[in-house]
Structure formats: structure tokens, C-alpha cells
Amino acid sequence: MFISSAFAQTAPAAGGGDMMSSLGSMLPLVLMFVVLYFVMIRPQMKRQKEARAMIEALAKGDEVATAGGVLGKITSLGDQYLGLEIANGVEIKIQRSAVVQVLPKGAVK
């Protein structure tokens, strides 16, 4: 009396479905990943490659800036570490990966 009758809906036809509609629904997702690759992933990989090349090309006498903001001249090179002269007679040892920029000659006095 107070409750109306409930009717079951008919089930959709079983089968493969339309191939184009499934591709059409995946297209925005695929486009999003393509845009993400070209906007974020590819430029980041390029920056990492340039940083790796800069660190490998370090030479004795180069003037560099570190991640901590220390400026100095390279006095010795090792596989993982390098000696950095930050003042006359003051040399510190830092990791190669701490170098973020090679400065032009004469920038550190």
C-alpha cells in the first residue's frame, strides 16, 4: 500500500561491446600521458643528462658553486669527492654531486 513495486532492469546484452567506444573512452587517458611525457618527464631527463655531463667535465682550476652556496676553485679531483679552495689556504672536501654550477673564470676572488 505505501511501498511501490520495484521492477528489475533488464541486463545489457552480453558480448564484446563496441570496440570504438572502448577506444574512445581511453583516448583522453592516453592523451594525458603523452602530454605529461612531453611537458614534465622529457625536460627533466634532459636536465639530469646536462647536470651529469657538467659533473663529469669538472677539471682542476674550475671555479664552481655548490648546492649550499659555497663558491671556490677546484684543487683536486677524485671519483666521488673533490677539493675546493674557498679562501687562501682553506680547502674543503665536497661530493661531486654537490656542484650545481661552473662559474666563469675570475668569478671567485
63-66 sheet: strands from edge to edge: 90-95, 81-87, 71-77, 63-66, 99-103
Same domain, 101 and 67: yes
Single pTM value for the model: 0.65
Same domain, 36 and 70: no
Residue 78 pLDDT: 93
Same domain, 63 and 103: yes
Same domain, 84 and 63: yes
Distance CA 102, CA 71 (A): 10
Residue 107 pLDDT: 87
Sign of CA dihedral 70, 71, 72, 76: positive
CATH code of 83's domain: 2.30.30.60
Distance CA 11, CA 38 (A): 43
Residue 90 lies in a domain: yes
Q: What is the pLDDT of residues 42-86, one digit of tens each?
A: 999 999 999 999 999 999 999 999 999 999 999 999 999 999 999
**Domain span at 70:** 59-109
At residue 5 the predicted structure's pLDDT band, cuts being 50, 70 and 90, is confident
Residue 103 lies in a domain: yes
Same domain, 108 and 93: yes
Q: What is the pLDDT of residues 17-46, one digit of tens each?
A: 567 777 788 888 999 999 999 999 999 999
